[in-house]
């Protein structure tokens, strides 16, 4: 029989539902905007769609599963493990999508003339597929054996056979902190974040050099090109910064749990860290809307055409004009 939900759990569930209600529609709007707007069809925006898909899944799948884990139902060990793994898959997918975006922006400013011949839609699709395959392999590693089953079996008697090991389903109960810190954080989170930091620093350095060049009055196109690249790079770097700001606190808490078992981490800090990780999925559409003009135009067009029951010809013409830029 399920135990009643406490007031604290009710507050937690309410906040999680609110995050999901912002994240899912917002990221669906991002995917919709790219689908209907020709100006948003280059490789960068394909990677942004991959990131948005992961964020939709966080709101539609991970948050409901997190609520279930918070309630702590009695389940079989591997059933609980299956509930815990999706967040690992989607976190890695988001990181690899951000890395692909960073590399794409670097190529756009490093080799602008050869960029379109090198970064083709086919190659972008292959890169996205590889990102998702790696994400599933990293996120499902606990299912392949790197988990807490043996540790739990050593500390208590299993109820029946190996496959019927019943537990109270909690994330830290089934997921090994060694996996979370040594493999997930130190290999698949921290190095990509540091690499992206270096890539964006180089991107800004290359753009600055190009914008500082003395150009004749007849060569406005390079200045215009690098000016646009600078604006987009700043916006995407902000997305990266928000991701790091949202996810690093939880990983730091995991490190404390592993390296200082006697340290008592206040539960409220853990919940705040969890809210930050889930809330990150709702932030990106807001950044796109306020920082990237093409997205803002597409969002307004969708709103006017599908929600205000009218076709905004000005928005359509603006979108067409942007597609030619």
Identify which has the larger pLDDT, 190 or 155. 190
| pLDDT at residue 308 tops 90 | no
The pTM score is 0.88
Domains of the chain in sequence order = 7-152+162-306 (1.20.1070.10)
What's the pLDDT at 172? 92
**pLDDT mean over 55-77:** 94
**pLDDT mean over 79-96:** 95
What's the pLDDT at 316? 46
Identify which has the larger pLDDT, 242 or 311. 242
Residue 42's nearest CA partner among 116, 135, 139, 132 is 116
State residue 168 phi and psi, 5-degree precision. Answer: -85, 115
What's the pLDDT at 137? 97
Could you tell me if 255 and 181 are in contact, meaning their C-beta atoms sit under 8 angstroms apart?
yes
Helix H or strand E segment including 31: helix 7-36
**pLDDT mean over 105-124:** 92
Could you tell me if 213 and 223 are in contact, meaning their C-beta atoms sit under 8 angstroms apart?
no
Residue 258's nearest CA partner among 146, 180, 152, 150 is 180
Residue holding tokens 């810190």?
181
**pLDDT mean over 191-203:** 96
E strand residue ranges, 129-288: 166-168
- Report the distance separating Cα 226 and Cα 211, nearest Å: 7
| pLDDT at residue 311 tops 60 | no
Q: Could you tell me what percentage of the chain is helix, strand and coil, using 3-state DSSP and rounding each to the nearest 5?
A: 80, 0, 15
| pLDDT at residue 160 tops 70 | no
What's the pLDDT at 154? 80
| pLDDT at residue 25 tops 60 | yes
């Amino acid at each position: 029989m399920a135990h009643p939900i406490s007031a604290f759990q009710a507050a937690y569930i309410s906040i999680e539902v609110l995050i999901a209600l912002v994240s899912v529609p917002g990221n669906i709007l991002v995917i919709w905007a790219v689908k209907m707007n020709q100006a948003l069809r280059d490789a960068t925006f394909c990677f942004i769609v991959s990131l948005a898909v992961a964020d939709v899944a966080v709101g539609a799948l991970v948050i409901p599963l997190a609520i279930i884990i918070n309630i702590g139902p009695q389940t079989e060990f591997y059933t609980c493990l299956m509930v815990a793994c999706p967040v690992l898959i989607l976190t890695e997918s988001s990181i690899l999508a951000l890395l692909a975006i960073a590399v794409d922006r670097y190529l756009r400013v490093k080799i602008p003339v050869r960029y379109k011949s090198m970064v083709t839609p086919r190659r972008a699709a292959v890169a996205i597929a590889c990102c998702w395959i790696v994400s599933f392999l990293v996120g499902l590693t606990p299912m392949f054996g790197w988990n807490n089953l043996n540790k739990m079996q050593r500390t208590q008697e299993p109820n029946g056979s190996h496959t019927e090991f019943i537990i109270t389903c909690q994330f830290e109960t089934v997921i090994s902190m060694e996996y979370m810190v040594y493999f997930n954080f130190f290999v698949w989170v921290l190095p990509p974040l540091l690499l992206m930091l270096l890539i964006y620093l180089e991107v800004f350095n290359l753009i600055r050099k190009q914008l500082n060049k003395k150009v004749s009055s007849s060569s406005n196109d390079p200045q215009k090109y690098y000016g646009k690249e600078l604006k987009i790079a700043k916006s995407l770097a902000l997305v990266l910064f928000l991701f790091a700001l949202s996810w690093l606190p939880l990983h730091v808490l995991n490190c404390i749990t592993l390296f200082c078992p006697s340290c008592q981490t206040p539960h409220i800090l853990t919940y705040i860290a969890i809210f930050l990780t889930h809330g990150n999925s709702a932030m990106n559409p807001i950044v796109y809307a306020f920082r990237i003009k093409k997205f803002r135009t597409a969002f307004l067009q969708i709103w006017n055409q599908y929600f205000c029951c009218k076709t905004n010809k000005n928005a359509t013409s603006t979108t067409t004009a942007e597609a030619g830029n």
